[in-house]
Amino acid sequence: MPIDRPLSVLITGANRGIGAAIAEQYRSAGAEVIGTARNPDAPDLYPLDVTETDSVAALAAQLADRPIDILICNAGVYPDQGRSLRELPDPALWALGFATNVTGVFLTVHALLPNLRRGKDARIAIISSQMGSSTRASGGSYIYRASKAAAVNLGRNLARDLVSEQIVLGVYHPGWVQTDMGGSGADIAPAASAHGLVTRIAALTPETTGCFETWDGRLHPF
């Protein structure tokens, strides 16, 4: 049965960088975009702090039984960026990294499962990083790497459990992108990354659910 409404896409962390670029890609294609931000700076953004259960529950209550076809878990932090090994025994930094990059992803997916179940060919995308690869371990950035590796593991296990409900899930490395996090010297512009990610998400199937891929369609080593 064809969808008699625009494609509905929810993107966390949609106020800047990769999230904003993905939102623009979907809007340009005629989709209905539900963007969130921890501190919304535009009237079309919903407030969402993925580390706060009350905030996640409030978003779910606002959406009520609204169908979601695509959920993109993009919100993330890099709490140890530029920090030396001697600065990292601070438990608060570890707690922030995992609360945002791992627990926040799970809380968001779990809270919005009723909406995804109402969607058409529902799919979930988790934006991780090549730095979450245990195979390509080049040292440093321990909090970010560990939390992004956990996000890959979380995504693969969720994919296994949700495929029976016709919900598919992919985990993606967005590339080294010219954002506040990636820096101006990064390889690609946000629009290029977003175009690739939207293409990869559209290609998800039950056979490829649980994949870890790059923005340009290459399988990434775990």
Global pTM?
0.94
Q: How far is CA 88 from CA 80, 100, 148, 179, in A?
A: 7, 17, 17, 24
Per annotation, catalytic residue among 26, 78, 142, 144: 144
Q: Dump pLDDT digits (tens) for 178-216.
A: 766 666 666 788 899 999 999 999 999 999 999 999 999
The DSSP string of 121-175 is: S-EEEEE--GGG-SSS--S--HHHHHHHHHHHHHHHHHHHHHGGGT-EEEEEE--
Active site residue 144: yes
Mean of all residue pLDDT scores within the chain? 93
- CB burial of 174-198 (b: ≥16 within 10 Å; e: otherwise) equals bbbbbbebbeeeeebebbbbbbbbb
64 pLDDT higher than 80? yes
Q: How far is CA 124 from CA 140, 143, 163, in A?
A: 29, 24, 11
Residue among 34, 118, 126, 27 nearest 69 (CA): 118
Q: Which pLDDT value is given to residue 1?
A: 32
Q: How far is CA 101 from CA 92, 106, 195, in A?
A: 14, 9, 22
